[in-house]
Amino acid sequence: MRCLFFNNTPAHVHLYKHTVSRLEDAGHEVLVLARGDECTEALLSYHDVPYETYGDRSESLQSLLWEVPAHLSTIARQARRFDPDVVFGIGPYAAYTGAITRAPAVAVLDSEPSLDHVVSKPFVRAILTPEAFRKDLGAKHYRFRGFKESAYLHPDVFEADESVRADLGVDADEPYVIVRLNAFNGHHDVGKRGFSADQRRQLLSTLAEHATVFVSDEGGDLALDELDVRPYELHPARIHDALAEAELLVADTQTMVTEAALLGTPAIRSNSFVGEDDMGNFIELEERGLIDNCSEFETVLARAQELLTDESTAETWAKRRDSYTADMVNLTEIITSIATSYSEPSAQPATAEVTGVRAD
């Protein structure tokens, strides 16, 4: 069987990396088509994933629009040469590939505001989303208990490596905070915003009064040498080890907040997505006490200081995380089962028959 996966961002590498390994170990052929991006390719190489790039990542919506035809042309050539039996991906590229190769395509989605499900739905065999997903996508829609991050942070899959503290240069009992700042240059970020420049400086100064602060700045435009903080500079494959050991994550991004929650690390999220129309996964995680969604910057500062000065925080979050993940599916097992269901010529999609997945 030949399985084709799309990895357009670093998060997609994590989503599929264990499935790729399992399929290869079982003797199946696997190919990943990736968007050219330094972090994405570093992760693919680190995890020894076989991949080809189809084009570079666009830095603006305008450049994305004129680059899409070139991307699709390259993808068509690569996909037809590989001749997949099944295709997995997040957005329309996977749906397009399934259509031109006549292979069933399966989408794994978790963002209601994104238009990916609108574009993909007519062309895919199935759409997998978390139970917390707040839209009904019809007969092709299947829900699972957990999040897309459950594929790589389920307790059966991930075990934190405490040696990351030495790599970061912090002592065994030294509290540290990770701050993740978004560049807001993705097509799904149009019209959205996070911390302002002044708020970023105030946030970092406040956090530095309580812990060592590591900053992961996606845009790379913050002058860290003017502040008492350190840049986060480890290989991107170590970020989950670092998150697991952190006292707190503060972010105006999305994915790392869910990752922190599943690792039992308190997380504060603040951006203009927060509100009544927020995504279901962040609403659910806040209801379970694992993250804080803050629309006001003053609330971010107050909550961060509260968490960092409360000696019971780590124990409380560990208990909440264990309670939450007890019923969470191992998404890698689900994706692998769906993929292998197509190993027989007459196979029908096994989505609805996989434990932990239900059809609407």
Q: 3-state DSSP call for residue 35?
A: strand
In the predicted model, what is the mean pLDDT of the chain? Answer: 90
pLDDT at 353: 47
| pLDDT tens per residue, range 154-211 | 999 999 999 999 999 999 999 999 999 986 545 444 445 679 989 999 999 999 999 9
pLDDT at 43: 97
| pLDDT tens per residue, range 67-95 | 888 999 999 999 999 999 999 998 889 99
| pLDDT tens per residue, range 290-311 | 999 999 999 999 999 999 999 9
Does 358 have pLDDT greater than 70? no
Residues 6+ positions from 80 with CB-CB distance below 8 Å: 100, 101
pLDDT at 177: 98
pLDDT at 184: 53
Q: How many CB atoms lie within 10 A of CB 332?
A: 22
pLDDT at 224: 79
> What is the pTM for the complete model shown?
0.91
Nearest Cα residue to 80 out of 65, 100, 104: 100
* Contact (Cβ atoms closer than 8 angstroms) between residue 128 and residue 142: yes
pLDDT at 349: 52
Cα separation, 279 vs 253, whole angstroms: 13
- Least-confidence region, from 134-138, 209-213, 258-262, 265-269: 134-138
* Contact (Cβ atoms closer than 8 angstroms) between residue 264 and residue 317: yes
